A and B are shown apart, each in its own frame.
Chain A
Amino acid sequence: MQIVERSVGGVTILDLKGVLIEDDGDDVFRDAVNGLVDRGRTQVLLNMAEAPQIDSTGLGVLASKYVTLRRRDGQLKLCNISARTRRLLETMKLLKVFEVFDTEADAIASFGRP
């Protein structure tokens, strides 16, 4: 997996490219978020337009990092997810946890709202 980090205002956008599955992307993603936390950047948006595949380990990493950021008063939001990922999130009841947006702009705008 490749991850490109961008910033828009106080929001850090991570563009994921590849799969987020066990032994392929999960470690990279975990390290990337941990690095942001270390730098105090806790408002994170994942742009998953180019990461359509995710497995239970990938979900676990997402959930784990969500918990990590929330402990730092941060947020982890998602945008441009695939239909397959949306079905998986829904099945795992994670759509109640994550805020999911269809577009990056909508997601960024949501960070300013209380």
Chain B
Amino acid sequence: MKVSIATNERRLLCQDGPAVRPESVRPVHANLPPTAEYVSARALAESATLAEAATRVLEALCEALGWDFGALWNVDADSGILTCVETWHVPALELPRFDAATRGATFTRGVGLPGRVWFTGQPAWVPDVVADANFPRAPIAREEGLHGAFALPLLIRGTVVGVMEFFSREIREPDEALLGLLTRVGAQVGQFMERKRAEEELDRFFTLSLDMLCVAGFDGYFKRVNPAWEGVLGYTRDELLTRPYVDFVHPDDRGQTTTTADSLTTGAHVLNFENRYRAKDGTYHWLQWVAVPYPSEQTIYAAARDITEQKEARVTIARYSNDLVAARQAQAEDASRLAKIVSELEVRDLLNVVQVALQTSEGPAAIEVISAKPTWVELLVPCTREAAEQIQPVIARLGADLPADVCESVSEAFRELLLNAVEWGGRLDPNRKVRIAFVRTDRVLIYRIADPGPGFTLTDLDHAAITHPGDPLEHERVREKKGLRAGGFGLLMVRAKVDELVYNEKQNEVVFMKYLD
């Protein structure tokens, strides 16, 4: 007989054949349940993963309760099967086939010992699995000397999330005290599984997130970073965790970063904070942060996003925008300069007209310039035909960019009315002045001609064609009788060529308009 010594609750075990508990060995569970429960809880608390916890719990329970082999099964609800998470057995025992069969097996509800427990939601005790009709691994159990078995469900709010099973080389009878203990342990493990599932789900998000997620301590060090950090900045996880995070921050941003971190320690939340982090290759990346503190844990949970390209795009857009504004400003200045030059040329033109008028006119006649802006011209013109003929082309040229028919119409109308004004209003007296004004807007041209005469009434105009609309020759006969020279078509012509023709009450001032749209 080969005898091996197990662990703390040392038992003498037979390597093969039915288990024999020597009288000298204490019952394995009579006084151990509290220890088993404690050991299980500690194992769960110290484990990072379900697989690690499974190993430690199985080991702890097997050793505490004298079982030789343990397995933890996980319910895969999506697939509808149980899969083995981990196994453990007494190191001194050789159970290779049973261990491999367990690790490789899956069970549906009701099948095998784990499936049976899953189906009923109740613990199951099998005195000897070799003789059990619903135990597919029975042949292998027989070969490797396993007989007694116990399985319990791992429950979360009444739902089976896993199963633990234990095997012994002994044929064991049900033990109510042990059932109670293992039920409590099963609840512990079930809660652990639930928590680990949630954590693993969270870890998957944490690991797979394209954003840079981290947990930082109030001590200024990262506690945890996800793989995105390495992807963006190129540092290993260890490099990031072993230096104060402010070391990675651009020197110009450290002050604000420290201030922001301090505000987090007082419970403030941070949204859209931006700073620059130095990558391993020496370049800087703009990061935009959202951070929430947990003062009770002295930690900060934060997510950062690399917005370097956005920042660069914003800078580029701003530069282009500035360039565009500058270009428009330069264009406006050019246009303004051009307008000023044109205006100056027009002024010089008008001044030249005045000078020419002064040189060619006899006596004191002079053209007085009140305004010489291209859009507003106002002059005092002596009542001579010469002065009128000199001014008329300049006025016409102010509308030279207009359509030819418009330019022709207003030019002819202006000339007719100006000659009327100097002849009839000013009596061709060079000492008297006709005031003329020209205003141009985008929509209309406005001309005003005010003569110094006493005005007239329509009844005085029977020598004009406008008073004889039915006979275009009658006014000529009137003029002949009055001894007037031929003419008289002026007003009629103007009325036909402009859009508005308005005299003042005295009829010594006329305004005419030509619309441009």
Contacts and interface: CB of A to CB of B under 8 A. Distances in A.
A92 B479 contact: no
B491 to A, nearest CB: 8
Contacts of B465: 92
A67 B480 contact: yes
Contacts of A63: 472-473, 476, 486, 489
Contacts of B415: 55
Interface in B422-480: 465, 472-473, 476-477, 479-480
Nearest to B386: A23
Contacts of A22: 385, 419, 487
Contacts of B416: 55-56
A22 B476 CA distance: 16
A30 B472 contact: no
Interface in A13-31: 22-23, 26, 30
B488 interface: yes
Interface of B: 385, 389, 408, 412, 415-416, 419, 465, 472-473, 476-477, 479-480, 485-490, 492-493, 496-497
Contacts of A57: 485-487, 489-490
A56 B476 contact: no
A24 to B, nearest CB: 9
A56 B489 contact: yes
Given A22-B487, A56-B487, A60-B486, A92 B477 contact: no
Contacts of A59: 487, 489, 493
Chain A residues touching B, majority SS: helix
A58 to B, nearest CB: 9
Interface in A68-98: 84, 88, 91-94, 96-97
B492 A92 contact: yes
Contacts of B496: 91-92
27 contacts: A26-B485, A26-B486, A30-B486, A56-B488, A56-B490, A56-B493, A57-B485, A57-B487, A57-B490, A60-B486, A60-B487, A60-B489, A63-B472, A63-B473, A63-B476, A63-B486, A64-B479, A64-B480, A67-B473, A67-B480, A84-B408, A91-B492, A91-B493, A91-B496, A92-B489, A92-B493, A93-B472
Nearest to A68: B480
A60 B385 contact: no
Nearest to B477: A67
B476 A60 contact: yes
A8 B389 CA distance: 38
Contacts of A56: 416, 487-490, 492-493
B476 A94 contact: no
Nearest to B496: A91
B440 to A, nearest CB: 24
Chain B residues touching A, majority SS: helix
Contacts of B473: 63, 66-67, 97
A61 B487 CA distance: 6
B421 to A, nearest CB: 13
Given A23-B385, A97-B472, A64 B486 contact: yes
B64 to A, nearest CB: 121
A91 B485 CA distance: 22
Given A59-B487, A59-B493, 13 more contacts: A22-B385, A23-B385, A55-B412, A55-B415, A55-B493, A57-B489, A57-B490, A60-B479, A60-B485, A67-B473, A67-B476, A91-B492, A93-B472
Contacts of A84: 408
Interface string A91-114: 111101100000000000000000
A59 B412 CA distance: 13
B488 A60 contact: yes
A93 B493 CA distance: 11
Nearest to B491: A56
B392 to A, nearest CB: 11
B490 A94 contact: no
Contacts of A65: 486
A91 B465 CA distance: 12
Most buried by A among B477, B486, B488: B486
The 7 closest A-B pairs by CB, nearest first: A60-B487, A64-B486, A56-B489, A60-B486, A56-B490, A61-B486, A91-B496
Most buried by B among A55, A56, A60, A61: A56
A65 to B, nearest CB: 8
